């Protein structure tokens, strides 16, 4: 798929991995809808990047809000070819701690945002992509989802987060098979430790120690590295049904 002139949607696109992906897509000549719960940040990014970028507020767990954002992007761009889902949250709590069993509500919330929200974006963007015309090879577009190496190497206290990201990994192949009949590819990126706003709040010695734990390169991942991989997936027609670890060979210790 050619990204120049392609219409794209990035959920969770106002910061971190999502914002880097928006920037990379725009640099390659794509038209991008920035969809985020933080409307101010989404608007600011769209304004900064110019006319090829528009912004919409949406909670990824809300069917109507995501549907409205998708429909608005289709109307603005005349269709949709590529979707990226980056929205997500975390929660740290042991299954049984000093005060008894883990709280159920935070677990449900993480699953709802990370897994159900991702599926909501997938199904609605895929439906819009499926309505478009195929290219000469029968492809209509692609969707990239975001998991984490915690899906494979979940640490102590990460039961909710790891379960939600593991669900995305498990979703990838059947979704790709489901959508193959309409010429849509589905892949997932599982990042390691990346320099996102979540880590920006840590003291610099802690950030440096995290980076040094990665075999090579011994540093935090850069959001633009995620973005370049997402764009490569869009452009490489044989990438389908795959989860790609982007982690510098890191395998997480229990804690």
Pick the closest to residue 191 from 36, 18, 60, 45 (CA basis).
18
List 56, 161, 194, 226, catalytic entry = 161
Q: What stretches of the chain adopt beta strand conformation (E)? A: 7-11, 31-36, 53-57, 82-85, 96-97, 100-101, 141-146, 184-191, 243-246
161 is catalytic: yes
Specify the residue for token string 């219409």: 7
Q: Could you give the strand order of the β-sheet that contains 141-146, starting from the edge strand earlier in sequence?
A: 53-57, 31-36, 7-11, 82-85, 141-146, 184-191, 243-246
Active site residues: 161
């Amino acid at each position: 798929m050619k990204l120049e002139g392609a219409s794209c949607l990035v959920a969770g696109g106002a910061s971190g991995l999502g914002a880097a992906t928006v920037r990379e897509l725009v640099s390659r000549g794509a038209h991008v809808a920035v969809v985020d719960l933080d409307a101010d940040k989404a608007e600011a990014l769209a304004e900064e990047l110019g006319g090829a970028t528009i912004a919409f507020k949406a909670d990824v767990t809300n069917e109507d809000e995501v549907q409205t954002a998708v429909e608005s992007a289709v109307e603005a761009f005349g269709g949709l070819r590529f979707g990226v889902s980056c929205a997500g949250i975390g929660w740290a709590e042991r299954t049984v701690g000093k005060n008894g069993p883990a709280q159920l509500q935070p677990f449900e919330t993480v699953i709802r945002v990370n897994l159900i929200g991702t599926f909501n974006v997938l199904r609605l963007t895929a439906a819009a992509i499926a309505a478009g015309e195929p290219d000469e090879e029968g492809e209509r577009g692609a969707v990239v989802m975001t998991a984490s190496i915690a899906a494979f190497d979940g640490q102590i206290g990460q039961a909710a987060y790891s379960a939600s990201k593991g669900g995305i990994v498990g979703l990838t192949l059947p979704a790709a098979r489901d959508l193959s009949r309409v010429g849509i590819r589905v892949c997932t990126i599982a990042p390691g430790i990346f320099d996102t706003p979540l880590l920006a709040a840590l003291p610099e010695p802690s950030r440096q120690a995290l980076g040094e734990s990665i075999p090579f390169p011994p540093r935090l991942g850069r959001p633009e590295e995620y973005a370049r991989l997402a764009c490569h997936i869009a452009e490489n027609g044989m990438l389908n049904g795959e989860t790609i670890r982007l982690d510098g060979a890191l395998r997480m210790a229990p804690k």
